[in-house]
């Protein structure tokens, strides 16, 4: 019998950035990384949530630091990556999780401001972070990037036009990074969460066209997942247990994508 141990989810000593780590899936992921021995840089726009996450991580006996700010700003992105590298001695994992929801609006009802904000936060900010992280991973000859996409990245019936477009863009970016850098030891994957218990909110306008259309499709999501279940998938994809997985979009949705 072969008893040789294979790749594991052990992340002891790894340097990890988790965006949106002040709450929800991001916070659950940051804590799960800490449980696996990683050093975690918490990036969030909410100072209170970031501070609480850092305190919880440190209570688990692993190092943690926070950078607070808007990740759609290049200077904040640069600060996040530089802090992780300086405090932890490098960068092994980037989790591009931070994002916002739209109001389920159909295209004819989406304002320029909403469109630009959704694209900037959900797609441009993760791109900026990946671009800033890549030089450090390339220098080390290894690294893992994990995006939080969405059920709305797989179909047109799970969110409004702006959110759906932004998350489809995340899938395209994930696959492009996987192809471009697989020869240099860098893996890029994404989870696609279905309905999940988090604090993300949306407020559709009364009698709006988008929510009225989507209502007939939304009953297929099945059991609502926990943030911790999404976090487990993120940590798996980031770890050596997923060493030969690259360019994958993993639905974590109780089979919604299969309906």
Is 202 marked active-site?
no
Q: What is the pLDDT, as a whole number, of residue 187?
A: 98
Residue 2 falls inside a structural domain: no
- pTM higher than 0.75: yes
Do 188 and 178 form a contact (C-beta atoms < 8 A)? yes
Q: What is the pLDDT, as a whole number, of residue 4?
A: 46
Q: What is the pLDDT, as a whole number, of residue 155?
A: 86
| H helices present in 10-98, as ranges | 24-35, 47-59, 74-88
Residue 221 falls inside a structural domain: yes
Run means of pLDDT, 10 residues per run, the chain, 259 residues: 58 97 97 98 98 97 97 98 98 98 90 97 98 98 98 87 96 98 98 81 65 66 85 98 98 86
Residue 224 falls inside a structural domain: yes
**Nearest Cα to 145, choosing from 190, 208, 184?**
190
Residue 30 falls inside a structural domain: yes
Residue 259 falls inside a structural domain: no
Residue 5 falls inside a structural domain: no
Q: What is the pLDDT, as a whole number, of residue 1?
A: 42
As for how many domains the chain has, the answer is 1
**Nearest Cα to 72, choosing from 124, 118, 132?**
124
Domain hosting 57: range is 15-254
Q: What is the pLDDT, as a whole number, of residue 3?
A: 42
What CATH number did the domain enclosing 112 receive?
3.40.50.720
Provide the residue count of the chain: 259
Catalytic residue among 163, 181, 202, 217: 163
Residue 242 falls inside a structural domain: yes
Q: What is the pLDDT, as a whole number, of residue 194?
A: 86
- The DSSP secondary structure of 141-182, one letter per residue, reads T-EEEEEE--GGGT-SSSS-HHHHHHHHHHHHHHHHHHHHHG
Here the tokens at position 97 are 């999780």
């Amino acid at each position: 019998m072969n008893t040789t141990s294979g790749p594991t989810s052990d992340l002891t000593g790894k340097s990890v950035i988790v965006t949106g780590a002040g709450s929800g899936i991001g916070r659950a992921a940051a804590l799960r990384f800490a449980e696996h021995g990683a050093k975690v840089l918490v990036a969030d726009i909410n100072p209170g949530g970031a501070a609480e996450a850092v305190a919880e991580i440190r209570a688990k006996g692993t190092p943690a630091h926070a950078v607070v700010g808007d990740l759609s700003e290049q200077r904040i992105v640069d600060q996040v990556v530089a802090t992780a590298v300086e405090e932890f001695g490098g960068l092994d994992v980037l989790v591009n999780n931070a994002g916002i929801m739209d109001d389920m609006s159909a295209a004819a009802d989406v304002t320029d401001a909403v469109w630009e904000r959704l694209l900037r936060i959900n797609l441009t900010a993760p791109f900026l972070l990946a671009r800033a992280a890549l030089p450090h991973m390339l220098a080390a000859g290894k690294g893992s990037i994990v995006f939080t996409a969405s059920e709305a990245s797989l179909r047109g019936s799970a969110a409004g036009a702006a959110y759906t477009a932004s998350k489809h863009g995340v899938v395209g970016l994930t696959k492009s990074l996987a192809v471009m850098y697989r020869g240099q030891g860098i893996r890029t994957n994404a989870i696609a969460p279905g309905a999940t218990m988090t604090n993300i909110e949306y407020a559709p306008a009364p009698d709006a066209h988008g929510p009225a259309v989507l209502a007939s499709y939304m009953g297929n999501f099945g059991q609502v997942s926990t943030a911790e279940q999404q976090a487990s998938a993120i940590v798996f994809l980031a770890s050596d247990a997923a060493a030969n997985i690259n360019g994958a979009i993993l639905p974590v949705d109780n089979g919604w994508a299969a309906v």
